[in-house]
Amino acid sequence: MSPGITTLDLAGVSRRFGQVTALDGLSMTITGGEFIALLGPSGCGKSTALNCLAGLLPLTAGRITLDGKRMDTQPAERRGFGMVFQNYALFPHLTVERNVAFGLRMRKVPKADVRSRVRAALELVHLEHLARSHPGQLSGGQQQRVAIARAVVLRPPLVLMDEPLSNLDAKLRVEMRTEIKRLHQELGLTTIYVTHDQEEALSLADRLVLMKDGQVQQIGTPEELYAQPVSPFVADFMGFRNQIAGTATDTGFTFDDGTWQGRSTVTGAAVAMCRPEDLRVDIEHNAIKVTVEVVEYHGRQFLLEVRTTSGLKLHAVCYEPHNPGDEVRIGITPDRLLVFEP
């Protein structure tokens, strides 16, 4: 079913609304079959980027090229991309089968082909048995499956998804995430997926594009963004919840509560960041004394909010129960500490 595009090239793709630059010079080359997640906080320009790709919004600068063919000058319907939205956008008066067949019929695909392709698409999303139902009779997860089948049945060169799971409850979200991953593995369709959820982006994408204020902050594989964020903003977004101001030398980081050994490429005034799961009660290395203030039960572990002697608030993890008011020591292995310029 794969349409096999080789390259989608974005060069300086920008969109302004009056004084607001919603998308500021997005440049990247996407390889056919890649799953790209556009990630970032509310208002960072993710949807604007997706709508520019879809042809729903004209660019104010830049160009989009698909296998050497200029796309940004083409209207949405000529691009032929598959779209999946947050609100499903199904036709309520058409059966599931007819919703999925709609695009094929518009394209005057022969009837027998329409029938077999619709059946195959519904099988892919496990909805064969609901072919004759109407969208109103389906659950949210089932409706989103129909929307996905409708997008992939066209064998589009590009599938665009805008927060497709955000209207589903937590359990269904995780199930549908796996479904989308499986579908991508089976079909290999080049996909661009917008989300504000870092876990969703990390688990689905081959590469992530993290954005802020319309600008790309970092592009990389899930492993790169998870382990090597390039800035405090990216680190914070990727779960490095602890942020400490201090001074760095090439062998350590000194702050109000002590010195943590660790290698740093930065010297002088600096910001150290680490994940709660790396700052632990059972680690002796670099240990400092803190007072437990809040204890959250997280199944395999407890998440602690603690306060240091100097009054700094940190988040740490332990595996034995503790109570508010307890004095404990928390440590961190040097390789888990990131040090940035402030």
Binding site for ligand ATP (CB under 6 A): 17, 20, 22, 40, 42-48, 196
Distance, CA of 322 to CA of 304 (rounded, Å): 9
Sheet holding 313-318, edge to edge: 313-318, 301-308, 288-298, 327-330
Minimum CB distance to ligand ATP, residue 159 (Å): 18
Nearest residue (CB) to ligand ATP, 216 versus 338: 216
Q: Tell me how far, at minimum, the Cβ of 12 lies from ligand ATP, in Å.
A: 17
- Gap between the Cα atoms of 270 and 264, Å rounded: 10
Q: Smaller CB distance to ligand ATP: residue 14 or 242?
A: 14
Q: How far is the CB of 28 from ligand ATP (least distance, A)?
A: 17
Q: Name which of 42 and 265 has its Cβ closer to ligand ATP.
A: 42
DSSP reduced 3-state for 341: coil
Least distance to ligand ATP, CB of residue 5, Å: 24
CB-nearer residue toward ligand ATP: 46 or 275: 46
**3-class DSSP state for residue 93?**
coil
Closest approach, Cβ 191 to ligand ATP, in A, equals 17
Q: In the complex, what is the shortest distance from the CB of residue 192 to ligand ATP, in angstroms, rounded to a whole number?
A: 13
* Helices vs strands, H then E, count in the chain: 9, 19
Pairing of strands 207-212, 215-220: antiparallel
Nearest to 125 by CA among 143, 98, 102: 143
> What is the CB neighbour count within 10 angstroms for residue 62?
18
Toward ligand ATP, which CB reaches closer, 45 or 82? 45
Cα dihedral: 200, 203, 206, 208 (round 10): 40
Nearer to ligand ATP, 200 or 278 (CB): 200
Joined tokens for residue 183: 């579908």
CA 326 to chain centre: 37
